[in-house]
């Protein structure tokens, strides 16, 4: 058959596309459970750390159990917190309409703590943060970056311990607005002020985190005070 004829070109293109795309679909399906398990573990790690719960990183079963034991809430039509069970969340996920906005509650050392996941824009795309606070929303219990697509080595440094550890015990000012200053790459060690270090050279990512954290504090204050928005 003439290699440059239209029929040959169409048949070749069809076969080449099938041969290349089919194994990709298979590989994607085959690794889906592992990717899903990785995502669950990553989310569980993020929420537990944001709540200030200590655990062994290598013991994955224990991490998932600790995560399953957390009280979970979602917002009803009146923006009031309603408790949901793990079964309800799993059912919603299987039915194809998963509940995204979940708030987690636990008690550590007789202190009630709350956490939630929050999504907002940064430089290259959305970032997802897990933020934990006390029930008065006057102190951070932790912050974790669950997802980001910022510049590796620059904006992506928000996922490094020196950055997120600044929030472990950081006071939340009454105004609910946390300020960011140019840092030296080691993080702000004063937890009683209203300032944390930003990432030098990644101003737009820092601004993205700043806006998202401040908005999340406002949301948490509003939700935990039982106010109707």
Partner 1 sequence: MSENKIIAVLKDNVWTNNPILIQILGICSTLAVTNLLSNTLIMTIGVALVTAFSSFTLSAINNLIPRKVRMIVQTMVIAFYVIIVDILLRAYAPEVSKNLGPYVGLIITNCIIMGRAEAYAQANPPLLSFWDGLTSGLGYMAVLMLIAVVREFLGFGTLFGVQILPLEFAAGGNNWTIMVMAPSAFFLVGILLWISKTKMLKDSTQGGKK
Residues that bind partner 1 (CB under 8 A): 3-4, 8-9, 12-13, 16-17, 20-21, 23-24, 27-28, 31, 34-35, 38, 42, 124, 147-154, 156, 159, 184-186, 200-201
Of 15 and 218, nearer to partner 1 (C-beta) is 15
Q: What value, to the nearest 5°, has the Cα angle with vertex 181 and ends 178 and 183?
A: 130
| 139, HSE (Cβ side, Cα atoms, 13 Å) | 12
C-alpha separations of 115 from 11, 106, 126 in Å: 55, 9, 19
Minimum distance from CB of 96 to partner 1 (Å)? 22
Minimum distance from CB of 80 to partner 1 (Å)? 35
Of 17 and 85, nearer to partner 1 (C-beta) is 17
Contact 125, 70 (CB under 8 A): no
Minimum distance from CB of 130 to partner 1 (Å)? 14
Of 41 and 108, nearer to partner 1 (C-beta) is 41
Minimum distance from CB of 220 to partner 1 (Å)? 25
Residue closest to 100 by CA, chosen among 125, 118, 77, 122: 118
Residue 100 to residue 31: CA distance in whole angstroms? 23
Minimum distance from CB of 177 to partner 1 (Å)? 26
Of 129 and 172, nearer to partner 1 (C-beta) is 129
Of 128 and 222, nearer to partner 1 (C-beta) is 128
C-alpha separations of 3 from 6, 16, 17, 18, 136 in Å: 9, 14, 17, 19, 73
Residue 110 to residue 228: CA distance in whole angstroms? 28
Residue 144 DSSP one-character state: E
Minimum distance from CB of 16 to partner 1 (Å)? 6
Of 3 and 94, nearer to partner 1 (C-beta) is 3
């Amino acid at each position: 058959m003439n290699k440059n004829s239209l029929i040959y070109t169409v048949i070749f293109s069809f076969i080449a596309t099938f041969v290349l795309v089919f194994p990709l679909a298979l590989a994607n399906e085959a690794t889906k459970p592992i990717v899903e398990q990785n995502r669950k573990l990553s989310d569980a790690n993020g929420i537990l750390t944001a709540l200030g719960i200590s655990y062994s990183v290598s013991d994955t079963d224990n991490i998932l159990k600790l995560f399953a034991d957390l009280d979970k809430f979602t917002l009803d039509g009146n923006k009031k917190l309603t408790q949901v069970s793990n079964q309800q969340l799993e059912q919603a996920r299987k039915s194809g309409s998963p509940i995204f906005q979940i708030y987690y509650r636990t008690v550590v050392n007789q202190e009630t703590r709350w956490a939630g996941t929050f999504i907002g824009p940064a430089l290259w795309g959305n970032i997802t943060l897990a933020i934990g606070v006390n029930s008065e929303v006057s102190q951070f219990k932790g912050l974790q970056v669950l997802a980001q697509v910022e510049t590796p080595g620059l904006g992506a440094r928000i996922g490094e311990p020196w950055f997120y550890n600044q929030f472990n015990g950081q006071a939340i000012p009454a105004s609910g607005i946390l300020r960011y200053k140019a840092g030296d790459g080691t993080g702000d060690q004063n937890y009683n002020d209203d300032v944390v270090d930003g990432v030098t050279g990644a101003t737009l990512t820092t601004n993205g985190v700043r806006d998202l954290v401040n908005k999340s504090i406002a949301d948490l204050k509003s939700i935990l005070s039982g106010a109707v928005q």
